Amino acid sequence: MKPWVREVLLESTRISEIFLLLRQEILVGLGIGRVPDHVVQDDVRRGDANLLAA
């Protein structure tokens, strides 16, 4: 494993099929979320969100 790579185990506390709701929660800082790339691609491009490798 590369020294800058860390593995983090997560437990879901919020589950929703409404990706736009999860996106808003991510953007206001309520935590990290797992959503399709296209849901946050503009936010990532602007620097408002970051992608984590899955």
> Between vectors from CA 43 to CA 41 and to CA 48, what angle results, nearest 5°?
145
Task: Give me the pLDDT at residue 3, please.
Answer: 74
Query: Domain coordinates of the chain in residue numbers?
Result: 18-54
Q: Say whether 26 sits in a helix, a strand or coil.
A: helix
Instruction: Give the model's pLDDT for residue 32.
Output: 86
- Between 17 and 5, the more confident residue is 17
Q: Which is nearest to 49 in space by CA: 8, 3, 38? A: 38
Q: pTM value?
A: 0.71
Span 6-50, pLDDT tens digits:
777 877 788 888 999 999 999 999 988 889 999 999 999 999 999
Closest CA to 12 of 40, 26, 33: 33
